[in-house]
Chains A and B, each alone.
Chain A
Amino acid sequence: DAGVIQSPRHEVTEMGQEVTLRCKPISGHDYLFWYRQTMMRGLELLIYFNNNVPIDDSGMPEDRFSAKMPNASFSTLKIQPSEPRDSAVYFCASSPGVGQPQHFGDGTRLSIL
């Protein structure tokens, strides 16, 4: 079975540029999550969707961050404009339902210069 697929695996870009991270969840999973991992804050939830609808975006740091899920098999996390402090590893995860473990992708390592 294909797991959660994230792209790109690595992204290096200059401050001020738009960054788009992509995620394909596991087929049949109704929930999709975006996380950010940094040394300072650890693994923190940014936003999650249920059936393509955003449920909790309280972790989104600021208006520069936006996430969409146009269909059940695709989601994007966009940062515009990007800043050096956005440098982190961004993970996408999906789960079949409430109370079910989340399955993670291998992450996108983002570096903003």
Chain B
Amino acid sequence: DSGVTQTPKHLITATGQRVTLRCSPRSGDLSVYWYQQSLDQGLQFLIQYYNGEERAKGNILERFSAQQFPDLHSELNLSSLELGDSALYFCASSPGPTSNQPQHFGDGTRLSIL
């Protein structure tokens, strides 16, 4: 058990809809990262929050947004969903803001767009 909790485990929805994925980091970790994993693209970094502030952005679409709340949990919002958004979405957490610290991953949310 990594200590990172993601809900829900599975989401099935239709094109054009909006969904929210939730992540609770490991106790004591201030950074939360979101990744997308698809078969042909590997692990793609989307966005990082550190102690409530956006820290880094990766290949995140404008239709996607995230935030980190005062209790440090984070939500990833995906809107105007397209078939190509079907993927595994992972959250990871680490103690500090930089990428040279251990990141621990949750078990992901599998998003299926019909």
A-B complex is real: no
Chain A interface (Cβ < 8 Å from any Cβ of B): none
